[in-house]
Amino acid sequence: MAIDLATAIRGAAEAAQACVVDGLPEQADRTAVPLVRLEEEDAVRLISAARPKAVYLVEVAFDPDGEIAAATEALADRGVEKQPASLTAAHRRVAGHAGEIRTTLAGFMVDGVLHTSSASAAWHDAFDEVVDEVLDAAREDAQAHGRAEAKVANAEIAAKAAILAAHPSFNFSRVSFEKRLTLAAALFGDAEEDHLHEITRRAENLFWLEQSGFKAPA
């Protein structure tokens, strides 16, 4: 548990006469400083034995409203406006833990090696698991919806490309992609610009295929 690690680290640091600092060393460049992650028991035992001069400690208090707001915003980004029942229930279960320590992070140096230890509250792990499941489901739904929309858009582009390629003006006079694009815009004025380019590109390919005399195998 997070609170257990914090209590144990503080006790070991006090016994070692180490200064407890609210924070952790930067770990952006881990190649410069060797890093070892320790379980709670090993971290406490090493502090007691090595007696480091400073022990860095971070205790993160639980903010249920803030975390549920972040989850709700992430869902909205995926197109989910209504909070799922499972997330509402999970929020209700942990609301009573507001202000309690949900995560503890500790770090200290021994012989040029950075040692860290971390722990989280079981109730917060369970809450995080529900949030992850809800966000994963929303992400999958959004991806499936995106694929469905892309399929519809692709079919629409293919249909318009066939119409464009068959139009009498498509190969009129001295043709160019820009002139055919102008024709596409005149025929499909409500289409987006990138769709017009794709319609024209496909129409040119269709026209070439037809002019080449290609026959699809029976």
d(CA 60, CA 104): 6
Query: Which pLDDT belongs to residue 94?
Result: 94
Q: Give the torsion sign (CA, 45, 48, 50, 56).
A: positive
Q: Which pair of tokens denotes residue 131?
A: 């949030």
| Same domain as 150, residue 129 | no
Whether 218 maps to a domain, the answer reads no
| Same domain as 153, residue 126 | no
Query: Which pLDDT belongs to residue 153?
Result: 92
Query: Which pLDDT belongs to residue 57?
Result: 95
Residue range 68-96, pLDDT digits in tens: 999 999 999 888 888 899 999 999 999 99
Domain extent for 62:
2-143
Q: Which pair of tokens denotes residue 129?
A: 């698991």
End residue of a domain, out of 93, 119, 143? 143
Whether 217 maps to a domain, the answer reads no
| Same domain as 139, residue 102 | yes
| Same domain as 161, residue 131 | no
d(CA 104, CA 1): 8
Contact 3, 124 (CB under 8 A): no
d(CA 172, CA 157): 22
Residues of the chain with pLDDT under 70: 26-31, 218
